């Protein structure tokens, strides 16, 4: 399989801040790759390094085997969908979409035909004459997508592409993006702080924190087998069990993660925990528990009775739901 | 409690605001009345009668035309210089954070933050030290210096409103710096520059304080008026010239307003 | 690029991750700018920095340097020896009078301008909407940018003994009030056009728009909900003004006062045309450099507003007034 993007010991420092710190990364051709992390974790800087808006302080970046450290953004066959879409306000939609082709010297008829095709691809046919200001957020996002795709980039970069949309639109776009990516076969790299988005769309996810990659893997890997406390906590707020407690259960002194939905309330033979609070989430109820010194959360189905605050309950889980985190602090 | 007060202003405030505006406008309106008075020796109010005679008299005055010509030339050239310098400065300051950018901003603002007489006398003494004879260029040197800030302020405000990602988007789509400038930056800041240019023109056209120091024996229109103010010889002609000056400056100001009205209402604070 | 090479480029681009350079001067220059962003920055900054640095700052320093020379009282020639003697002359009673007179006038004008500007700015920012807002804005912009001399001239017409103001007072049978005012020492005089009151009015008029705009801009940034919140918490309109509106508008007032204060300090035309014959700093500078030929003393006089404005700007910056500009 061809490697689309590869990072070898790439760092980007801003003064004393290590925005990206010694990152190794390899993205395969045709992959839908997510960079997930809190703000300031370095994920966006990584994206900008691929686009060429930032240059690495040290390390080596290749796009399809070509070294790109000294290649400016306008010579990289990589296009970006910006977080604020960055549509040119002084141009109508068709000229926005055709901008890249115009710069490359394509004649007006050809580039407008190509742009119209791209607009159809993103389900906005006939919007060419409008101005960006006349479109809704979701429509603008599609235009931004069309503007990038019309250039047939080798890699498409998406910077928090759905961040500004409301929930319903976001879910719809998640599906559409995925279908589009399968159809075009272009490598998609997208940055998000929303773990649900990363898990539902990506083939592989890289979890960033403090400029470093904490874990790379399939959504299932990341969600079910977090390798560090950070990943366990950030991706779907797993419970992290203390080494002392884990040692009693497994004999190994190590942190372990336990998903809230893996915890069941049983009538007997479980661990005693005290209920400290609960919140109704619709399909489930989340209850907070004090298990020894630890605070943990459990999700119980809505059809089950919710125990009162202050009562002591017995909780249990399957042994293989407990995931040891090797080497995690 | 104040639900009705939210929409309607208290009458006291309305009155004060209205009086304030009237205070700012009535004196200028008065100029228009005096331009047609038949009285030519004093500033008598109410005017004893009205006539169009003074318009014709003014039209046939070569000294007024000379002064007008010099003023227009000076304002045009100064504005062009200020537009180039102000835009460069604004682009540098708003695009990058660099050491000393505060200093640059201060340097641009200084020529209007300090009283004009200081700029004037400093330039004059510099000319005399460097043995530069007075000419239209000595006037322009001074005017361009304090006009930079007007263009700069307008351009900086527009740059601030223009999302930085537009430039990146353009480069991302294959445009190099020059293509990005031509296709994205210029169309986006164009109207702000034009507005800045118009205001700079208005500012230069009626500047008098610095000009008295840098003009030597030449007369711009404001200098001509100043001489009439200090030693009135031709009151009716001065009245007409004053009216014409108001009309000439109002147009670029209104144009500048319409060019920048959607959002950056900073055009005026630059003066 | 021709049409054929464009289509070639298209096929190339779909195969390679990197497009060929565009070549030419602009292409390679552009690559240089990307690799070294400082180069572009320096290129952009050099022309304005040179212009302002050499022409403006150069002249300013040359002027300041002259204030450390002195003039020979007998020959009237400038003596090029460093001395503080000229600065000492500033403290002669006559010169000190000029400074105090100017600074007091600047302070009073600034205060009055703030008082008159506030209601206009407040109304425009909080109550005027749509067309009215535009009208208010233009209503302030036009006088701001109208010719300075025309404005001064208009006041010469207004304040003249035979002018409109006297006429209004006569019609209202208030001539006695005007006469009583003119009879007051210092601020009065033979007529309004030769009194400090006249000078003050013209200063106030000419600089007022410079105060209105920043005040309005500052008030514009006070969300209406703040005022409602204050009222909701039990404050009377007066208390809301004192504790919420005024503190938030203060940076705007300070920003405006930079202009009114500085412009009054340096003006030499208004007091020359409307006012008593007593000098202001600007007139003193003008007289010293012109008829008296005493450049060192003129230079020393200009240092006074520079120093005052230096402190003023420093204080204003600390209050965040520059953000309100």
What ipTM score was computed for the predicted complex, to two decimals? 0.81
Q: How many residues does chain B have?
A: 271
Which is higher by pLDDT, A210 or B268? A210
**Domain boundaries, given as residue ranges, for chain C:** 91-324
CA C314 from centroid of its chain's CA atoms: 15
Q: In a 3-state reduction of DSSP, which class is residue A53? A: coil
B interface test, pick of A86, A115, A148, A159 with most B CB neighbours within 10 Å: A86
B171/A80 touch (CB, cutoff 8 Å), yes or no:
no
Rounded to a whole number, what is the distance in Å from the CA of A139 to chain B's nearest CA?
A: 18
Q: Which pLDDT score is estimated for B7?
A: 55
Q: What are C30-55's pLDDT values in tens digits?
A: 888 888 878 888 888 889 888 888 88
CA C66 from centroid of its chain's CA atoms: 26
Q: Rounded to whole angstroms, what are the CA distances from C21 to A63, A73, A103, A153, C25? A: 17, 11, 13, 17, 11
CB atoms within 10 A of CB A320: 8
Does the pLDDT at position A239 exceed 90?
no
Q: Is B171 on the interface with A (CB under 8 A)?
A: yes
Residues B260 and B78 sit within 8 Å (Cβ to Cβ): no
CA A101 from centroid of its chain's CA atoms: 30
Q: Which pLDDT score is estimated for C105?
A: 93
Classify domain A3-232 at the CATH class level.
alpha beta
How far apart are the C-alpha atoms of B48 and C162, rounded to whole Å? Answer: 12
Q: Rounded to whole angstroms, what are the CA distances from A263 to A227, A237, A289, A312, A314? A: 20, 14, 11, 15, 10
Q: Which of B224, B235, B233, B206 is nearest to B34 (CA)?
A: B235
pLDDT < 70 regions, chain B: 1-8, 96-99, 261-271
Radius of gyration of chain A (CA): 23
C28 contacts in A (CB within 8 Å)?
none
Q: Which pLDDT score is estimated for B106?
A: 79
Chains that touch B (3 or more CB pairs under 8 A): A, C
How far apart are the C-alpha atoms of B93 and B96, rounded to whole Å? Answer: 6
Task: Specify the CATH number of the domain A240-325.
Answer: 2.40.50.140
Q: What are B11-35's pLDDT values in tens digits?
A: 888 888 888 888 888 888 888 888 8
The whole-number average pLDDT for the span A118-129 is 89
Q: Rounded to whole angstroms, what are the CA distances from A81 to A30, A60, A158, A178, C283? A: 17, 24, 5, 15, 62
Q: Give ranges for CATH 2.40.50.140 in chain A.
A: 240-325
Q: Is B187 on the interface with A (CB under 8 A)?
A: yes
Chains A, B: CB pairs < 8 Å: 66
C18/A66 touch (CB, cutoff 8 Å), yes or no:
yes
Q: Output the furthest CA–CA distance in chain B (Å, rounded).
A: 72
Question: Peptide bond before B61: cis, by omega within 30 degrees of 0?
Answer: no
Q: Which pLDDT score is estimated for A327?
A: 56
Residue in B165, B176, B187 nearest the CB of A74: B176
Angle between helices B101-113 and B136-161 (to 10 degrees): 130
A64 contacts in C (CB within 8 Å)?
16-17
By C-alpha distance, the chain C residue nearest A70 is: C35
- Which tokens is A294 given? 């630890």
3-state secondary structure C97-145: HHHHHHHHHHHHHHHHHHHHHHHHHHHHHHCCCCHHHHHHHHHHHHHHH
Q: In a 3-state reduction of DSSP, which class is residue A298? A: strand
Rounded to a whole number, what is the distance in Å from the CA of B144 to chain C's nearest CA?
A: 9
CB atoms within 10 A of CB A84: 16
How far apart are the C-alpha atoms of B223 and B216, rounded to whole Å? Answer: 11
Q: Which pLDDT score is estimated for C15?
A: 59
A107/C3 touch (CB, cutoff 8 Å), yes or no:
yes
The whole-number average pLDDT for the span C60-86 is 81
Residues C118 and C249 sit within 8 Å (Cβ to Cβ): yes
Taking the alpha carbons at both ends of chain B, their separation in whole angstroms is 41
The single residue listed with the structure tokens 């070509």 is A66
The whole-number average pLDDT for the span C211-222 is 84
**Domain contains B52:** no
How far apart are the C-alpha atoms of A300 and A303, rounded to whole Å? Answer: 8
Q: What are A248-267's pLDDT values in tens digits?
A: 888 888 888 888 888 888 88
| Share above pLDDT 70 across residues of chain C, in percent, rounded to a whole number | 92
Q: Which pLDDT score is estimated for C159?
A: 86
> Of the given ranges (A59-68, A112-121, A273-282, C216-225), which has the lowest mean pLDDT?
C216-225
Rounded to a whole number, what is the distance in Å from the CA of B259 to chain A's nearest CA?
A: 14
Does the pLDDT at position A166 exceed 80?
yes
Rounded to a whole number, what is the distance in Å from the CA of C274 to chain B's nearest CA?
A: 10
Q: Which pLDDT score is estimated for A187?
A: 94
C48/B104 touch (CB, cutoff 8 Å), yes or no:
yes
C interface test, pick of A48, A74, A102 with most C CB neighbours within 10 Å: A74
Q: Which of A94, A85, A99 is nearest to A173 (CA)?
A: A85
B175/A88 touch (CB, cutoff 8 Å), yes or no:
no
- Which tokens is C103 given? 């600074």
Residues C117 and C109 sit within 8 Å (Cβ to Cβ): no
| Share above pLDDT 90 across residues of chain A, in percent, rounded to a whole number | 46
Q: Which helix (H) or strand (E) holds A291?
A: strand A284-291
Residue in C1, C14, C17 nearest the CB of A105: C1
| Predicted confidence band of residue A207 (pLDDT cuts 50, 70, 90) | very high
B interface test, pick of A73, A91, A111, A189 with most B CB neighbours within 10 Å: A73
Residues A325 and A306 sit within 8 Å (Cβ to Cβ): no
| Predicted confidence band of residue A246 (pLDDT cuts 50, 70, 90) | confident
Residue in B166, B175, B176 nearest the CB of A86: B166
B165/A83 touch (CB, cutoff 8 Å), yes or no:
yes
3-state secondary structure chain B: CCCCCCCCCCHHHHHHHHHHHHHHHHHHHHHHHHCCECCCCCCCCCCCCECCHHHHHHHCCHHHHHHHHHHHHHHHHHHHHHHHHHHHHHHHHHHCCCCCHHHHHHHHHHHHHCCHHHHHHHHHHHHHHHCCCCCHHHHHHHHHHHHHHHHHHHHHHHHHHCCHHHHHHHHHCCCCHHHHHHHHHHHHHHHHHHHHHHHHHHHHHCCCHHHHHHCCCCCCHHHHHHHHHHCCCCHHHHHHHHHHHHHHHHHHHHHHHHHHCCCCCCHHHHC
Q: Which of A63, A69, A11, A27 is nearest to A206 (CA)?
A: A27
B13/C157 touch (CB, cutoff 8 Å), yes or no:
no
Does the pLDDT at position A329 exceed 70?
no
Rounded to a whole number, what is the distance in Å from the CA of A88 to chain B's nearest CA?
A: 7
Q: Is C28 on the interface with A (CB under 8 A)?
A: no
C19 contacts in A (CB within 8 Å)?
74-77
Q: What is the mean pLDDT of chain A?
A: 89
How far apart are the C-alpha atoms of C153 and B243, rounded to whole Å? Answer: 11
Q: Which pLDDT score is estimated for B6?
A: 47
How far apart are the C-alpha atoms of A153 and A80, rounded to whole Å? Answer: 9
Domain that includes residue B140, residue range: 62-270
Contacts (Cβ under 8 Å, ≥6 apart) of A209: A37, A38, A41, A230, A234
Residue in B92, B145, B250 nearest the CB of C44: B92
A72/C10 touch (CB, cutoff 8 Å), yes or no:
no
Q: What is the mean pLDDT of chain C?
A: 82
Angle at A235 between CA A231 and CA A238, to 5 degrees: 85
Q: How many domains does chain B have?
A: 1
C152/B229 touch (CB, cutoff 8 Å), yes or no:
yes
Q: Give ranges for CATH 3.40.50.300 in chain A.
A: 3-232
A interface test, pick of B174, B177, B180 with most A CB neighbours within 10 Å: B174
Q: Which pLDDT score is estimated for B268?
A: 38
B144 contacts in C (CB within 8 Å)?
51
Q: Which pLDDT score is estimated for A12?
A: 93
Q: Which pLDDT score is estimated for A305?
A: 82
Confirm or reject CATH 1.10.3720.10 for domain C91-324, answering yes or no: yes
Q: Which pLDDT score is estimated for C195?
A: 87
C217 contacts in B (CB within 8 Å)?
265-266, 269
Chains A, C: CB pairs < 8 Å: 55
Q: Is the alpha carbon torsion for A92, A96, A97, A103 positive or negative?
A: positive
Angle at B232 between CA B228 and CA B233, to 5 degrees: 100
Rounded to a whole number, what is the distance in Å from the CA of C83 to chain B's nearest CA?
A: 19
Residue in C62, C144, C305 nearest the CB of B122: C62
- Which tokens is B102 given? 């505060």
| Share above pLDDT 70 across residues of chain A, in percent, rounded to a whole number | 98
Residue in A74, A80, A82 nearest the CB of B175: A74
How far apart are the C-alpha atoms of C234 and B230, rounded to whole Å? Answer: 57
Residue in A76, A105, A151 nearest the CB of C17: A76
C21 contacts in A (CB within 8 Å)?
75
Q: Rounded to whole angstroms, what are the CA distances from B104 to A92, A105, A204, B118? A: 36, 39, 48, 20
Give bridge partners of residue A62 from the DSSP assignment: A6, A67
The whole-number average pLDDT for the span A97-112 is 92
**Domain contains B188:** yes
Chains that touch A (3 or more CB pairs under 8 A): B, C
Contacts (Cβ under 8 Å, ≥6 apart) of B223: B67, B208, B211, B212, B215
How far apart are the C-alpha atoms of C137 and C133, rounded to whole Å? Answer: 6
Which is higher by pLDDT, C237 or A56? A56
Q: Is B172 on the interface with A (CB under 8 A)?
A: yes
If 0-12 CB within 10 Å is exposed, 13-18 middle and 19+ buried, where does residue A267 land? exposed
Residues A91 and A135 sit within 8 Å (Cβ to Cβ): no
**Domain contains B204:** yes
Q: Which pLDDT score is estimated for C325?
A: 53
> Of the given ranges (A7-16, A104-113, C178-187, C253-262), which has the lowest mean pLDDT?
C178-187
If 0-12 CB within 10 Å is exposed, 13-18 middle and 19+ buried, where does residue B62 land? exposed
Rounded to a whole number, what is the distance in Å from the CA of C128 to chain A's nearest CA?
A: 26
């Amino acid at each position: 399989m061809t490697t689309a993007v590869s990072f070898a010991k790439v760092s980007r420092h801003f003064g004393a801040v290590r925005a990206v710190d010694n990152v190794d990364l390899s993205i395969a051709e045709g992959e839908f790759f997510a960079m997930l992390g809190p703000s300031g974790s370095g994920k966006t800087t990584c994206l900008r390094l691929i686009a060429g808006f930032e240059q690495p302080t040290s390390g080596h970046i290749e796009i399809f085997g070509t070294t790109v450290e000294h290649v400016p953004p306008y010579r990289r066959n990589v296009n970006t969908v910006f977080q604020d879409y960055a549509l040119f306000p002084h141009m109508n939609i068709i000229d926005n979409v055709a901008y890249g082709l115009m710069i490359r010297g394509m004649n007006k008829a050809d580039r407008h035909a190509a742009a119209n095709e791209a607009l159809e691809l993103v389900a906005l046919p006939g919007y060419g004459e409008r101005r960006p200001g006349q479109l809704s957020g979701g429509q603008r996002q599609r235009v931004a997508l069309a503007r990038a795709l019309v250039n047939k980039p080798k890699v498409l970069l998406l910077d928090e592409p759905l961040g500004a949309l409301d929930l319903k639109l976001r879910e719809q776009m998640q599906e559409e993006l995925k279908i589009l990516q399968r159809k075009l076969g272009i490598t998609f790299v997208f940055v998000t702080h929303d773990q649900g988005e990363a898990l539902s769309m990506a083939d592989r996810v890289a979890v960033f924190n403090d400029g470093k990659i904490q874990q790379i893997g399939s959504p299932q890997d990341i969600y079910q087998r977090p390798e560090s406390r950070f990943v366990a906590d950030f991706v779907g707020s797993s419970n992290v069990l203390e080494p002392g407690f884990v040692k009693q259960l497994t004999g190994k002194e190590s942190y372990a993660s336990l998903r809230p939905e893996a915890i069941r309330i049983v009538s007997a033979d479980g661990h005693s925990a005290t209920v400290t609070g609960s919140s109704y989430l619709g399909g489930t109820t989340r209850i907070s528990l004090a298990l020894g010194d630890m605070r943990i959360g459990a999700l119980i189905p809505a059809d089950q009775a919710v125990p009162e605050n202050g009562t002591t309950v017995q909780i249990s889980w399957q042994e293989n739901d407990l995931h040891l985190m090797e080497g995690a602090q | 409690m104040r639900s009705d007060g939210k929409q309607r202003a208290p009458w006291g405030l309305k009155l004060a605001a209205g009086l304030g505006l009237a205070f700012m406008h009535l004196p200028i309106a008065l100029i228009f009345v005096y331009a047609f008075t038949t009285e030519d020796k004093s500033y008598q109010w109410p005017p004893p009668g009205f006539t169009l005679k003074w318009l014709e008299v003014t039209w046939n005055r070569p000294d007024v035309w000379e002064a007008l010509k010099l003023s227009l030339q000076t304002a045009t050239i100064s504005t062009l210089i200020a537009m180039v310098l102000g835009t460069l400065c604004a682009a540098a300051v708003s695009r990058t954070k660099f050491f000393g950018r505060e200093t640059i901003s201060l340097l641009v603002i200084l020529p209007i933050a300090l009283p004009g007489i200081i700029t004037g006398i400093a330039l004059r003494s510099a000319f005399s030290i460097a043995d530069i004879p007075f000419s239209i260029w000595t006037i322009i040197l001074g005017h361009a210096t304090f006009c930079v800030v007007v263009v700069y302020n307008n351009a900086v405000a527009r740059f601030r409103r223009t999302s930085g990602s537009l430039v990146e988007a353009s480069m991302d789509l294959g445009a190099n710096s020059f293509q990005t400038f031509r296709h994205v930056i210029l169309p986006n800041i164009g109207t702000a520059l034009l507005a800045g240019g118009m205001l700079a023109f208005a500012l230069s056209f009626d500047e008098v304080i610095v000009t008295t120091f840098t003009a030597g024996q030449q007369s711009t229109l404001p200098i001509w008026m100043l001489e009439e103010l200090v030693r009135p010889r031709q009151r009716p002609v001065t009245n007409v010239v004053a009216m014409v000056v108001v009309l000439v400056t109002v147009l670029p100001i209104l144009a500048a307003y319409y060019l920048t009205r959607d959002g950056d209402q900073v055009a005026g604070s630059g003066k | 690029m021709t049409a054929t090479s464009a289509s070639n480029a298209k096929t190339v681009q779909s195969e390679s991750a990197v497009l060929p350079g565009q070549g030419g001067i602009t292409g390679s220059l552009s690559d240089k700018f990307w690799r070294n962003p400082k180069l572009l920055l320096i290129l952009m900054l050099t022309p304005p920095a040179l212009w302002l640095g050499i022409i403006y700052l150069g002249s300013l320093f040359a002027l300041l340097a002259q204030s450390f020379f002195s003039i020979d009282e007998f020959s009237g020639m400038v003596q090029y020896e460093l001395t503080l003697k000229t600065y000492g002359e500033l403290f002669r009673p006559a010169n000190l009078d000029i400074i105090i007179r100017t600074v007091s006038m600047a302070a009073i004008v600034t205060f009055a301008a703030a008082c008159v500007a506030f209601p206009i700015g407040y109304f425009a920012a909080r109550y005027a909407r749509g067309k009215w807002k535009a009208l208010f804005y233009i209503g302030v912009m036009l006088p701001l940018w109208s010719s300075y001399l025309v404005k001064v001239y208009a006041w010469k017409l207004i304040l003249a003994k035979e002018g409109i103001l006297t006429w209004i007072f006569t019609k209202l049978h208030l001539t006695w009030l005007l006469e009583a005012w003119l009879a007051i020492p210092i601020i009065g005089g033979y007529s309004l056009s030769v009194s400090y009151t006249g000078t003050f009015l013209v200063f106030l008029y000419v600089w007022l728009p410079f105060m209105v705009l920043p005040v309005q801009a500052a008030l514009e940034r006070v969300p209406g909900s703040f005022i409602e919140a204050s009222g909701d918490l039990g404050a009377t309109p007066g208390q809301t003004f004192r504790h919420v509106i005024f503190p938030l508008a203060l940076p705007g007032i300070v920003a405006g006062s930079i202009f009114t204060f500085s412009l009054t300090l340096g003006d030499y035309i208004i007091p020359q045309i409307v006012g008593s014959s007593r000098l202001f700093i600007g007139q003193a500078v003008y007289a010293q450099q012109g008829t008296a030929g005493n450049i060192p003393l003129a230079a020393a006089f200009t240092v006074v507003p520079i120093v005052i404005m230096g402190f003023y700007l420093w204080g204003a910056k600390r209050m965040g007034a520059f953000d309100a500009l």
